[in-house]
Amino acid sequence: MTHSVPNAGPVSSGQESSVQESSQKDSLVKTPVVVCRGVKRIYQQDSVPVHALRGVDLEIQEGEFVSLAGPSGSGKSTLLNSIGGLDGFDAGTVTVGGTDLGALNSAELAELRLHKIGFVFQAYNLIPVLSAQENVEFILQLQGVPSQQRRERATEALASLGLGDLAHRRPGELSGGQQQRVATARAIVTKPVLLLADEPTANLDSKTTSELLEVLQQLNQQQGMTIVTATHDPIVMGFTSRQVAMLDGEIHQDTGSTG
């Protein structure tokens, strides 16, 4: 099953031109969307320091579809959280879309997440009291998008993911796959610079997993959306253009940028 993805590309005109460059497969140098330099993260667990990230260096170019893979405790989710501004880091620098996350306070990080990053969570994390349409509109409303425009964009995003008929259902009335697609619609409706997905298919069966991955692949290939997903599922890795394997808080293997 495939879904046509509408014009949900990056916000800036620079990004739009970059998408065109990508589709034309020319050889111009792309802009890095994510740059991690010497990122370290240490947790205290019962007074014992746990080195979740041990100086990670990673650069993700615009339009890449990257999987962060590795066993539990490898640091893939920690790295994803640091890139998404959900968690801090103890050393190094992380820049997203040119913004140094280490220089931002909590409110500025919230603004960055709201305007530049889309999230797809393993547990879907939809607001249970809102319909699919309202869930997608919610984030636009936080951005202050006018109601008419909000409605149109949410409808378009849901339709692009094959959920046009289910727009008025609440999460409890949708299957897991449908909920994850609503969550994806919510993540892309703001046209983020970066889409982060944390184990997005972990709760889905193989058929639904494939359907969701096709959607993400289309977003990446047709719209040039930069996607980073943390996963330990080989099927997911098969859909991505670049695989980064992590082990013990370090990058163990990187297939490298395909751009």
Q: Is 139 in the site for another protein (CB under 8 A)?
A: yes
User: In the set 55, 202, 222, 250, which binds another protein (CB under 8 A)?
Assistant: 202
The interface region with another protein, picked from 7-15, 133-141, 208-216, 247-255 by CB under 8 A, is 133-141
Contact status: 149 vs another protein (CB under 8 A): no
Q: Please, are residues 15 and 226 in contact by the beta-carbon 8 Å criterion? A: no
233 binds another protein (CB under 8 A): no
Give residues with Cβ within 8 angstroms of 161, minimum separation 6. Answer: 3, 181, 182, 184, 185, 215
- Relative orientation angle of helices 132-143 and 176-188, to the nearest 10 degrees: 20
Structure tokens at 35: 């740059």
97 forms part of the interface with another protein (CB under 8 A): no
Spatial distance between the Cα atoms of 234 and 71, rounded to a whole number of angstroms:
12
Contact pick of 121, 151, 241, 255 for another protein (by CB under 8 A): 121
Q: Name which position in 15, 18, 74, 122 contacts another protein (CB under 8 A).
A: 122
Sequence-ordered alpha helix ranges (H) in 64-169: 76-83, 106-116, 132-143, 147-160
* Residue ranges that bind another protein, judged by CB under 8 A: 77, 81, 84-87, 106-107, 110-115, 119, 121-123, 125, 127-130, 138-139, 141-142, 144, 147, 186, 198-199, 202
